[in-house]
Amino acid sequence: MKNEKGSLVRPDALPSSASRPVVTPLSPSVVYASDTPDMLDQQYEGGLHGYTYSREGHPNADVVAKRLDRLENAPYPGVMTASGMGAVSAALLGLTQAGDHVIGGNQLYGRSLRMMAEDLPRLGIATSLVDPGDIDAMRAALRPETRMILVEVVSNPTLRVADISGLVALARERGVLLVVDNTFTTPRAFKAFDAGADVVLHSVTKLLAGHSDVMLGYVAARDAVLNDRLRVFTVTTGMTASPFDCWLAERGMLSFDLRFERSQSTAARLAAHLDGLAGVRRVIYPGRTDHPDHQRATDLLGANFCNMVSFELDGTRAAANAFTRAAEGLSFAPTLGDVGTTISHPASSSHRALSADQRAALGMSEGFFRISVGLEEPEALCAVFTQAIAAAITC
């Protein structure tokens, strides 16, 4: 089969170089060739490190996972998944079995709520939804078969703060796994393993990757056996992340610290600015002393109140329409953590399935907006809100 031009259908070897690339190479190879069956044996047995088939693992996933492991102080190598929901699925489905009971925070991410309401029960896993700020209610919801509690540190879009220390104590006392979705807070504001979480997960799609061009998730467990189960579940169900997405996420994460600092300081500035505007009924930001969970936020997050601000316009759907139309340069789009500021309107998107009364009970009127603050120049951003809110209240 030797051909003087090299192999006919396989690529040639990379040219040798005395210097190294400063950027991680992208490795799209689905398979990795080993020299002999003996070597392959050793790779599978763990005696030799080597990749085999990329659903089982590849260098770009390992590079990003290692970075996240370091940020989260994860005791074992975490697993990259094809989206944040892949990470939620790995925790909810990979660590439970029929007959178990799972408790979720009552304001979880919409798709997580859907999995709690529909998929787990279909598989014989009972679920309850409870306010993660109310430890008595959590305690009352526990059953002998409760396996897991899944919470987010800061809720969406009302930005309430979970009683994490109370939950850690309760979970330990009752031998229940505490799973923390750390997407909103990021390891920059909150180290969930240090705080006592058993499993930590992320939608890396959001602040960590940061540019709205990658779907990616991460999940890791404190316990070696559970951590291995998360990996096996992800590989078996095909939730493996693509090399290109991992590569893009790694690039995005190089600026994560700077982006986080900038967007949270602008968020504090914007929250103060909104508070002074006519037509704004209330402003919700955990860094404000009028926030109902301000003290708890300070205890958990220090001075890191993150980049999410919610506010309520004094007006109906017509005012909401006028506001997004006039908010020039800002995307009205249901995501968060992008380099650009994005605005979401829960009544028409994430919370549209609720009745107006149910939304009202959560304090979510037609004028309620959630802002994910990006990297715009802070005063220019405030000016856009000033004129868009003015347009909304005169419509």
> Would you count residue 152 as binding ligand PLP (CB under 6 A)?
yes
Name the burial class of residue 119, with classes exposed (0-12), middle (13-18) and buried (19+) by CB atoms within 10 angstroms of its CB: middle
Name the burial class of residue 308, with classes exposed (0-12), middle (13-18) and buried (19+) by CB atoms within 10 angstroms of its CB: buried
**Catalytic-residue membership of 109:** yes
Active-site hit among 69, 100, 163, 181: 181
**Catalytic-residue membership of 206:** yes
Active-site hit among 67, 147, 206, 222: 206
- Give me the least distance between CB of 191 and ligand PLP, in Å please: 17
The region that residue 124 occupies, defined by phi over 0 for left and psi between -120 and 50 for alpha, beta otherwise, is left
Active-site hit among 51, 67, 69, 109: 109
> Would you count residue 310 as binding ligand PLP (CB under 6 A)?
no
> Would you count residue 109 as binding ligand PLP (CB under 6 A)?
yes
> Would you count residue 84 as binding ligand PLP (CB under 6 A)?
yes
Distant-in-sequence, close-in-space partners of 148: CB < 8 Å, separation ≥ 6 = 91, 92, 95, 96, 100, 102, 103, 176, 177, 178, 179
344 forms beta bridges with 370
Strands across the sheet containing 308-313: 280-284, 308-313, 368-372, 342-344, 331-332
**Catalytic-residue membership of 229:** no
Helix axes 59-72, 243-253, angle to 10 degrees: 40
Residues 177-196 as x/- pattern, contact with ligand PLP by CB under 6 A? ----x-xx------------
> Would you count residue 206 as binding ligand PLP (CB under 6 A)?
yes
Where does this chain touch ligand PLP (CB under 6 A) — which range of 82-90, 225-233, 350-358, 362-370? Answer: 82-90
> Would you count residue 368 as binding ligand PLP (CB under 6 A)?
no
- Give me the least distance between CB of 79 and ligand PLP, in Å please: 14
- Give me the least distance between CB of 204 and ligand PLP, in Å please: 7
Active-site hit among 32, 55, 111, 269: 55
**Catalytic-residue membership of 66:** no
Shorter beta-carbon distance to ligand PLP: residue 183 or 341: 183
* β pairing state of 331-332 and 342-344: parallel
- Give me the least distance between CB of 88 and ligand PLP, in Å please: 6
Tokens coding 311: 């506010």
With CA atoms as reference, report the closest residue to 266 among 145, 377, 120, 140.
377
With CA atoms as reference, report the closest residue to 82 among 266, 197, 280, 245.
245
The catalytic site residues sit at: 55, 109, 181, 206
Binding stretches for ligand PLP (CB under 6 A): 83-85, 88, 109, 112, 152, 181, 183-184, 203, 205-206, 215, 217
